[in-house]
Amino acid sequence: MDFETIVERIKKRIFDPVYFLTGDEPFFIDKISRMLEEEVLTDDEKSFNLTVLYGLDATDDQIVSYAKEYPAMASHRVVIVREAQHLRQLADSKNLLAYLHKPVPTTVLVFDYKYKKIDGRTELGKLLKSKTVYFQSKQLYENKVPDFIERQIAARGFSVSPVVKQLLAASLGTNLSKIENEIGKLVLNLEAGAQITTEIVEQNIGISKDYNIFELQNALGKRDFPRAISIVNYFGATPKDFPAVFVLVMLFAYFRKVFHYHFLKDKRSAAAQLSVSPYFVKDYEQAANNYTTTQVRRILGLLRQYDQMSKGVDSAQMQDGELLRELIYKIMMIP
């Protein structure tokens, strides 16, 4: 079952007896687990009907014992096992296997099993996939983060332009919990239905609308040397916010797409083939017009070289700002 389906069922108060939440992305696991903790029981009912256990301390017998208890003055009991990946002898628990065959329908048993996978070939693995709400939480690829941001903002009743969601994605990275927190700051004092602008982003979470990785890519694509140098000077003055390693990774991804654009047979489907918003296709087209395939190859080679230098290989301990300025100069002067 996917994340959206699970959330929708919980909102409709359709609760399943066992949830096994596993995978490498803790954000979705925590969201489902917290939602069950908040939605199944009222605050008054939680005193007698909510049990939270931790994998390092709990045993399988304890978990099953709590799960078999009937609710007191409520429709359900909720038993949550946090950090369930630390449970000892989980796969060998006959007690748990027996419970999964016939779970108590008035109990909602939740396992938060992060960063590990259950062997699907074992009896436990087969039972979990067939008898429970088994959710595999996968990390988002970078190109999926802008749409995640848009969904998070829309869920709060606001809207965002393609430019702003790309700006947020480029600046906040792939830490989904951090993204959610920053979005919370953005909408805190906005009127319902408002659109989040670059000015709002700058005022509330300190991401400059003029000096960011997204604007640097635009300047390079246009071959606007003064603008690009101005931006990397800003980066050099704020190295904690814009470390060279991060900037180089983002520029490499950008120029790789420019290179890809050159070889697209059907430019009409460029957005899908490049995994970008249709709004930004014109930027890649402009960059492709300004740089030949040979030049882009050389730029990608420069970016690999400077990535190594940023990590201390063949460099004379250059500061991030100095390294980036030298790189931008070489990109702009590339034959």
* pLDDT attached to residue 316: 60
Mean pLDDT within 45-55: 95
> Torsion-angle region of residue 312: left (phi > 0), alpha (psi -120 to 50) or beta?
left
Q: Same structural domain for residues 273 and 256?
A: yes
Alpha-carbon Rg for the chain in angstroms:
25
Q: Same structural domain for residues 23 and 85?
A: yes
Q: Same structural domain for residues 31 and 120?
A: yes
Q: Using one digit for the tens of pLDDT, what is the confidence trace for 127-146?
A: 999 999 999 999 888 878 88
- CATH number of the domain encompassing residue 12: 3.40.50.300
Q: Same structural domain for residues 158 and 177?
A: yes
Q: Same structural domain for residues 123 and 34?
A: yes
Whether the pTM exceeds 0.85: the reply is no
Q: Same structural domain for residues 96 and 40?
A: yes
Task: Measure CA of the first residue to CA of the last residue in the chain; give whole Å.
Answer: 53
| pLDDT level of residue 207 (50, 70, 90 thresholds) | confident
Range of the structural domain that residue 159 is part of: 142-205
Q: How many residues does the chain have?
A: 335
Look at the chain and report how many structural domains it folds into: 3
Mean of pLDDT over the chain = 91
Interatomic CA distance for residues 189 and 45, integer angstroms: 33
Q: Using one digit for the tens of pLDDT, what is the confidence trace for 307-325?
A: 988 887 766 677 888 999 9
Mean pLDDT within 251-276: 92
